[in-house]
Amino acid sequence: MADVRLPGTLTPLFPGLPRRLEVHAPTVLAAIDSLEAQWPGLRDRLVAEGPSLRSHIHAYVDGERAGLDTPVAERSRLDVIAAISGG
């Protein structure tokens, strides 16, 4: 199971969504889709039309910048970051 860390801006939007959880999924997009199944609407908060990650949402798999197609291994760590922006 991949170790998924989510941004703090996301959890208030979905009751019961933890900051850290485990997901079994082959790619970043599949991991997000698996969360969507449990928390409907979550995918749209991270993924824009295309599909692509939203402009200021960054993903890292095992510390490397990732896209939606990036593979996620069984023991990977997937960080989803709300990049510093705005004011």
Partner 1 sequence: MPKTLLTVATRKGTFVLESDDRRDWKLRGPYCEGWPCYHAIYDPTTGEIYAAAASEWHGSTIWRSGDLGETWEMSSEGLSYGDEDGRKISKASTLARAGDRLLVGVEAPGIFESRDNGRTWSLLSTLSGQHGSEAWDDPANQPPGHLGISGFVTDSGDSDKFFAIVQGVGAFETEDGGSSWTPRNKGLRRDWPSEYEDVGFCVHKLVRSPDPERMYQQNHVGMHRSDDAGQSWTEITEGLPGDFGFAAAAHPHDRDTFYVAPVDGLHDRTMHEGKLTVWRTRDAGSSWQPLRSGLPQENAYLGVLRQGMAMDTHDTPGVYFGTSTGQVFASADEGETWSEIANYLPSISSVDVAVLD
Binding site for partner 1 (CB under 8 A): 7, 9-10, 12-13, 40-41, 44-46, 48-51, 54-57, 82-83, 85-86
Least separation, in Å, of the C-beta of 57 and partner 1? 6
| Strand arrangement of the beta sheet that strand 77-82 belongs to | 20-23, 2-5, 77-82, 57-61, 64-66
Q: Give the tokens for residue 73.
A: 């291994």
d(CA 26, CA 50): 19
CB 17 within 8 A of CB 42: yes
Least separation, in Å, of the C-beta of 52 and partner 1? 9
Least separation, in Å, of the C-beta of 48 and partner 1? 6
Q: Which is nearer to partner 1, 34 or 51 (CB)?
A: 51
